[in-house]
């Protein structure tokens, strides 16, 4: 009963999630007339006096708690993070994917084997590294890799454009992972993208903003991305699960062309395998104020790098080019690890994509 804002102990009432008149704040024991400004879905047990559209409702019981007017959410601030992959991580991934030995990479870079190995291990640029021959061998863009070597980070993405988007970064197994929560500000319907390691901060946000979690979209089934799925499904048993995994129950499997509504938001998906067989990128549009689309990409691409794909690198890279970097430049990219970025920034700076 109750869904955050407009919470009441009166029995038989639906979750009063639509915007309520701001002046309304009934005190304990006071009679109140509630003017509902948006549609309320009928729910089982809902009194007949609650109608679709603008309606006047007379409470049947004393309000136990004052209403909280659910205005627009405060602008999100996305945490500043270091890149998921250092220079050394990128070199090692590219070297193994191209079956290049450390000795051959060192020769191309004009370095001793010890100096090259230290650069891979530490991520610190070795003096006099010859980027052009090294990157030719490793199939990377030399100018973009050099920029990363000198400390490139994505510019501020302007988080305030998406008020109803939150990043939830949780830690486990010696790493951090990002999950994302989005919602419609009017209906308070919400969707979660991956779970991360810990459900507690997700539950806190759902409570804080009075949300009703309808969907859980999985970008891929690697353990760090779905670790908290148990407690989330336990708390919200009706949540609809969506996955690209061939091993998922049929009802949870994404079908070609399917789209999903989260209030006025629309969620479409694109298959981006390579890093994982079941890799999916979700594209969310319909944001209030015309904010750019948001792509939740899992580990298909990171700011300045991409998820490891080993022998499937050509497939992974091709899918990113086809399905992510083809999106409009201002599209926000929400990766499973590391900072948020945009399509335009990755086109200009990601060394895996010439």
The contact set with Fe ion (CB under 5 A) reads 222, 299
Minimum distance of Fe ion from residue 307's CB (angstroms): 5
Minimum distance of Fe ion from residue 302's CB (angstroms): 11
Residue 50 or 297 having the CB closest to Fe ion: 297
Residue 222 or 323 having the CB closest to Fe ion: 222
Instruction: Give the tokens for residue 9.
Output: 């102990």
Minimum distance of Fe ion from residue 276's CB (angstroms): 6
Residue 292 or 307 having the CB closest to Fe ion: 307
Residue 189 or 299 having the CB closest to Fe ion: 299
Instruction: Give the tokens for residue 350.
Output: 């990601």
Residue 163 or 222 having the CB closest to Fe ion: 222
**β-bridge partners, 261:** 266
Q: Computed from CA positions of residues 98, 104, 105, 110, in that sequence, does the dihedral angle turn out positive or negative?
A: negative
Alpha-helical (H) ranges within the chain are 87-97, 102-109, 113-122, 131-138, 142-149, 200-208, 223-226, 229-235, 313-323, 343-349
Minimum distance of Fe ion from residue 221's CB (angstroms): 9
Closest residue to bound Fe ion by CB: 222
Alpha-helical (H) ranges within 110-181 are 113-122, 131-138, 142-149
Tracing tokens 């335009």 back to the chain, one arrives at 344
Minimum distance of Fe ion from residue 311's CB (angstroms): 16
Q: From the CA atom positions of the chain, what is the Rg in Å? A: 24
Question: Which of these, 330, 332, 305, 310, lies nearest to 320 by C-alpha position?
Answer: 305
Minimum distance of Fe ion from residue 86's CB (angstroms): 18
Residue 92 or 222 having the CB closest to Fe ion: 222
Residue 214 or 337 having the CB closest to Fe ion: 337
Minimum distance of Fe ion from residue 244's CB (angstroms): 13
Residue 263 or 279 having the CB closest to Fe ion: 279
Minimum distance of Fe ion from residue 173's CB (angstroms): 12
| 329 contacts 198 by C-beta, under 8 angstroms | no
Q: Could you write out the three-class secondary structure of 21-72? A: CCCCCCCCCCCCCEEECCCCCCCCCCCCCCCCCCEEECCCCCCCCCCCCCCC
Residue 188 or 317 having the CB closest to Fe ion: 317
Minimum distance of Fe ion from residue 140's CB (angstroms): 21
| 323 contacts 337 by C-beta, under 8 angstroms | no
CA 157/CA 293 separation, integer angstroms:
12
Q: Is 267 helix (H, G, I), strand (E, B) or coil?
A: strand
| Residues whose CB falls within 8 Å of the CB of residue 32, separated by 6 or more in sequence, listed in order | 24, 26, 59, 63
| 55 contacts 42 by C-beta, under 8 angstroms | no
CA 246/CA 255 separation, integer angstroms:
11
């Amino acid at each position: 009963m109750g869904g955050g804002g407009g919470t009441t102990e009166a029995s038989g009432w639906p979750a009063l999630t639509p915007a309520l008149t701001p002046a309304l704040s009934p005190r304990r024991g006071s009679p109140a007339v509630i003017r509902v400004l948006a549609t309320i879905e009928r729910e089982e047990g809902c009194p007949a006096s609650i109608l679709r559209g603008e309606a006047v409702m007379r409470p049947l019981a004393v309000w136990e708690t004052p209403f909280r007017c659910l205005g627009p959410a405060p602008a999100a601030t996305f945490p500043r993070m270091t890149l998921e992959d250092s220079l050394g991580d990128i070199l090692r991934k590219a070297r193994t994917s191209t079956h290049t030995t450390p000795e051959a990479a060192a020769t191309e870079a004009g370095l001793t084997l010890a100096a090259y190995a230290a650069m891979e291990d530490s991520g610190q640029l070795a003096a006099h590294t010859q980027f052009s021959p090294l990157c030719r061998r490793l199939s990377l863009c030399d100018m973009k890799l050099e920029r990363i070597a000198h400390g490139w980070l994505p510019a501020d993405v302007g988080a305030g454009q998406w008020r109803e988007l939150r990043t939830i970064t949780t830690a486990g197994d010696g790493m951090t992972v990002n999950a994302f929560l989005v919602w419609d500000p009017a209906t308070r319907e919400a969707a979660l993208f991956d779970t991360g390691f810990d459900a507690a901060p997700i539950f806190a946000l759902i409570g804080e903003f009075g949300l009703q979690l309808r969907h859980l979209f999985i970008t891929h089934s690697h353990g760090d991305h779905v670790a908290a799925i148990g407690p989330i499904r336990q708390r919200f048993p009706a949540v609809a699960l969506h996955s690209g995994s061939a091993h998922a129950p049929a009802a949870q499997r994404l079908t070609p062309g399917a789209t999903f509504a989260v209030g006025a938001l629309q969620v479409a998906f694109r298959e981006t395998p390579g890093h994982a067989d079941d890799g999916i990128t979700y594209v969310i549009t319909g944001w209030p104020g015309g904010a750019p689309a948001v792509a939740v990409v899992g580990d298909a691409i990171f700011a300045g790098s991409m998820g490891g794909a080993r022998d499937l690198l050509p497939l992974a890279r091709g899918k990113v080019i086809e399905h992510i970097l083809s999106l409009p430049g201002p599209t926000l990219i929400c990766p499973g690890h590391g900072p948020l970025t945009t399509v335009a920034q990755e086109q200009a700076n990601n060394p895996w994509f010439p």
